[in-house]
Structure formats: C-alpha cells, structure tokens
Amino acid sequence: MTTRPRPPGPADAVVAGGGPAGSVAALVLASAGRRVLLLDAGGHPAPPAGPGAFKIGESLPPAARPLLRDLGLLEGFLAAGHPASTGTYSAWGSPALHGSSHLFDPNGHGWHLDRLRFDAFLRDAAVAAGAELRRATVLAQPGEGLIVREHDTGTVAELRGRWTVDATGRRCVIGRRRGRRHRQDRLVAVYAVLPGRHPADRAGPEDAEARTLVEAAPDGWWYTTRVPAGRLVAHLTDPDLADPSLRTPQGFWRGITRTDHVRRRLDGYDPATTPVPRWTPAHGVRLGPAAGPGWVAAGDAALAFDPLSSQGILTALLTGARAGQAVAACLAAPGRAAHALADYTAFLDGVADAYRRNHAYAYDQERRWPLSPFWQRRRTGGASLPGIA
C-alpha cells in the first residue's frame, strides 16, 4: 500500500478517534485530497502484541463486503484472514436452539474479527491515503480547537482544523458539548476470553464453531463465539441486576453453568483459565444533533447500538464513510454545507429508525420471564426507545 504525500498547509479536518469510524472518515477525506489529522491513543499501525490481547466488538456481517469494496479495502481485508462467521444459533423465545445461516446471503458469509488487527488495518489505510496519524488523546474542546495530550511527549497542546470529526466512541468528547445524548437503557456487558482453542472446537465454515451462539436468560442474555484470541463469552444485563460475583472468574463461571447451550459449548474448558472479567457499556445511545457548523459525529459518538443487533462495526464503517463524505462536500462547497449536513442527519435518522424497529421486535420475541425486571424494561420503556426516533 503506497502512502500518498500529505497536502501542504493547515489541516482541513481533525478526526478524533482511530477506531473504524474515525479511520474510515480520515480515509475518505484524505482520498478526496484533504489534509487530515487522525488522532488515536495508540497511534501505531501495529496492534498491541501479547497473549490474550483482545478488543470486544468482533462481529462484522456480510453487508460490510460491498462497503469495503467501495472503499478499496476489500482485497486487503480478505487477505488478513479473519475467521468466517456463517450465521448464528439462538435460544431466544424458547429453550430450543434455532439456527440462522448466511448461506443464502448475496454477500456471502460474515466475519469474527480480530478487532485489534482490523482497527490497525483501517488506520494504516487512512495513512496510506495521506492522513497524518498522531498519537494523542482528546481531553476537551473548550472552543474551536481540540485540547489533546501528545503521547510521545506527554505535553498538552491545542489542535485546530477547519472541520472536526468526533469519532471518540461512547465518550463523545466533542459532541456531548454540542448536542444531547439520549440513552436507550443501562445495558452493560461483562465478558471474558477463554484462552486457546479446545480440541473439541472443530475448524471449518460448515460447523457450529463458525457461528455465534446467543442464549436468553431470566436476567439478560449470553453469547459466545470463537475469536482469534480464544473463546469469547459475554453476559448482557443491567447494572442493578448483575450478580456482584460476576466480577470474579469463579463467579463468572458459575453464571455460565446456569445457562444451557452456552455451558455446553464450553464443555472441556478449564474454569481455572478464566481471566478476570471485563465490563463495558452496551446500551443504545443517540446524539442529537450529530452534526453542525464545523463538526460532525460518527460511529458510537453519533449512534451506538445494543450488541444484540450485531451491527455496531458495520454502522461505524457506514457512518465514518458518510461523515467523511459530508465534510468533504462542506469543504468543497461551503455555501452548500447546511445541505450536506442535513443529508448526513437524515442518513443517521434512517439508521436509527431501522434499529428502533428491529430492537423492539427482537426483545418482544422473548416472553418466558414476564416478571423479570430486565425483560419488563424492554417491553415497556425499552421498546419505545425515547430519544432514538
């Protein structure tokens, strides 16, 4: 991949955040001939090394294939060899396990991503297109500039660009000052990656190990899937409903033993290898507005999804591309900036509307625990998604 020379002069855009949304936005802008600064806390193309290195958010559906092709990334992505995902198995609405296959999807199969390598691949592509990668963390935006901490020197500095893209994820460092964040619920994920590959886990695109397994439970739901770092197991629930023992490896494993299908998928794994579980926010959230004069938000900063949708990474790629296109249009024709931002906002509204409908439908299918606070919340307040519409 040949790196393009960077355009001279001050930055046309500063993209805060080097995840999928930010990297794709930077790629689109740099490909349009704009000078772009891409800020990332890691900053280097190579992902962190070492056993157990893992970043959650590992599902990429088949619909990503045409987008990656349009961005000129498909060939390099396929060469990376991310494991195929051929669908899901779910025990949802009944104790029986039902399958959903990608066999008839016109875009083929999806993927179980190695997120660290995938994110590094996207940053590398942005740099090759001409973006300048800076090891920096955004601290605040008190005015027109961004206050950042430079990781190489430890100094705090101010960076300015004609436009700013907020791709800082759920932190939403820039957008939270300019709009209102509407949280869907309080969903959290507690997860662990069991190291290695158990001998009972067979390889091959046709077998169960190429599918994600989802299982509803009285106080939330579980899922497990093979990832390059091992086997991911996650429990989704609300903080006030979570058993405090889930914070320990022993308590997390006891939670697994109360499942049916997830527990069976883990037969043969040694509970003693379970690492200390990690916690992360998993609720849906929408920023409104997500764009204005001189700035746009993309990825989770603009619109984050409940992971049941399996659309988070795809949406990050889509919103990153559309945000980059919107900013490029604003830079090319400042007099048409309001129109470009309105188009971007309409795009986000369409994505949010589809998510709202699908989310309400999915949670309405599970009615086995009518007195459970977790499921009651999603059949009442959760299904209407206040602020997401």
pLDDT score at 54: 84
Q: Is the pLDDT of residue 8 over 60?
A: no
CA atoms within 13 A on the CB side of 56: 21
Q: Is the pLDDT of residue 311 over 50?
A: yes
Q: Is the pLDDT of residue 143 over 90?
A: no
Q: Is the pLDDT of residue 7 over 70?
A: no
Choose the weakest-confidence range: 67-81, 109-123, 154-168, 356-370: 154-168
Q: Is the pLDDT of residue 68 over 80?
A: yes
CA–CA separation, 298 and 100 (whole Å): 30
**70 CB neighbour count, 10 Å cutoff:** 10
Residue 106: asked if its preceding bond is cis (omega within 30°), the reply is no
Q: Is the pLDDT of residue 32 over 60?
A: yes
pLDDT tens digits for range 69-82:
999 999 999 999 99
CA–CA separation, 214 and 216 (whole Å): 7
- What is the tally of helices (H) and strands (E) in the chain? 11, 21
- For tokens 């527990």, the residue is 263
Q: Is the pLDDT of residue 186 over 50?
A: yes
Contact 271, 249 (CB under 8 A): yes
Of 17, 55, 60, 51, nearest to 36 (Cα)?
17
Q: Which residues is 181 bridged to in the sheet?
A: 287
